[in-house]
Amino acid sequence: MTKDGITEIPPATSALPFKCCTPTKENISSAIKQLKNGKSAGSDSIPAEALMADV
C-alpha cells in the first residue's frame, strides 16, 4: 500500500500478444454487421445504419 491507500501494480514483465495484421474486407464487414442500430460507432458520429447500408 502506498501513502494514499492504493496498492501499486507492478508493470507487465512481457509484451502481451496481439494481432497486428491488416484487417481484411471480411473482418471489417463482420464488425460492421455486429453494430447496434441507433448507435454511433465512434467519435465521427456516423450511425450504424449508414455503415450497414454499404455491407
Going by the DSSP 8-state scheme, the letter that residue 25 receives in this structure is H
Which pLDDT does position 2 carry in this prediction?
Answer: 61
pLDDT tens digits for 1-55? Answer: 566 667 788 887 887 777 778 889 999 899 888 988 887 767 888 888 888 887 7
Distance CA 2, CA 9 (A): 11
Give the predicted TM-score (pTM) of the model. Answer: 0.50
- CB atoms near residue 25 (< 10 Å): 7
